[in-house]
Amino acid sequence: MNRPMHVSEQAPPSLIPNEGWHCSHFFYLFDRAGLETLPEGMIEEGAAELIAVLDPSGSDAPTRLQTSIVSGHKADFALMLMDPDPLKVESVHQRLMATQLGSCLIPSYSFVSISEISEYVPTLEQYGQRLVAEGEEEGSATYQTKLKAYEQREVHMRKQRLTPDFPEWPATCFYPMNKSRRPGANWFTLPQSERNALMTEHGRSGMQFAGRVTQLITVSVGLDDWEWGVTLWARNPEYLKDIVYKMRFDEASAKYAEFGPFYTSYISTAEEMLAHCRITTS
């Protein structure tokens, strides 16, 4: 998590982060008994309203809006929303509840966070120091090539961490997590250098899944009950299982991580979600 700015650097009061976007995950169940009491025409009109609210290209839509069909009983569908303005993000939930189907929607879980550049992502200077520590000669052709490649990657990495594009992959998973404060395994008492080393190892495990899984870590310290939110997208659901299992063996996870509930879902349009949930027939 980034450190707070010095007092002299404080920006004017605003809801807009100095960098990054607000991010909310919402999960909903349909009240089946309530739906049975609604006239058929009201369900059709409510479905049309819901589809309009969840249109990513709508005039009132946040910068990023993704709908998915949740696997299991914890929810019927999920939304992932991102925008610089938190009220624009939250307005999707309010507009959804204000539709004619709103009385039959049960919010089952939500998570509030902000995108960030992790303090464990090395600067260009730190990356150069890492290369030297790994045996590269500072200033050598190989050193310069690797440093230049990292500099070019860093621009894309920053964008994807702060203002990400959602990949068009079919499977996604969300879970909240904390870093442990247990006696003998308190992450927050470790020296910065040790935390950096552990997160470097953790990051290398994740890189083995490049092209199969992409990840977004958002920070929720001071915003929600957990400290971070993890969103994964995968080309195939089995890769979600594979990456989580692989990374559990890293010390940063095995010793210092605590996990909340997992929500696995499959990307869809609002129309597809309503049909899947048997709210509409097509």
User: Can you state the angle between helices 124-133 and 141-162, rounded to 10 degrees?
Assistant: 130
Distance between alpha carbon 103 and the CA centroid of its chain, in Å? 28
Helix (H, G, I), strand (E, B) or coil at 213: strand
Q: Give the strand pairing for 213-219 and 105-115.
A: antiparallel
Options 109, 120, 175, 263, the catalytic residue: 175
Report the amino acid identity of residue 185: A
The 8-class DSSP code of residue 174 comes to: E
- Tokens for 41? 């025409």
- H or E element that contains 258: strand 257-259
- In angstroms, the CA 262 to CA 244 distance is 11
239 as an active site residue: the answer is no
Most distant pair of Cα atoms in the chain: their distance: 74
Determine the Cα–Cα distance for residues 146 and 232; give it in Å rounded to an integer: 28
Angle at 158 between CA 156 and CA 159, to 5 degrees: 65
203 DSSP assignment: H
d(CA 265, CA 26): 12
Locus of tokens 């914890």:
74
Helix (H, G, I), strand (E, B) or coil at 83: strand
Gap between the Cα atoms of 224 and 174, Å rounded: 15
User: Which positions are catalytic?
Assistant: 175
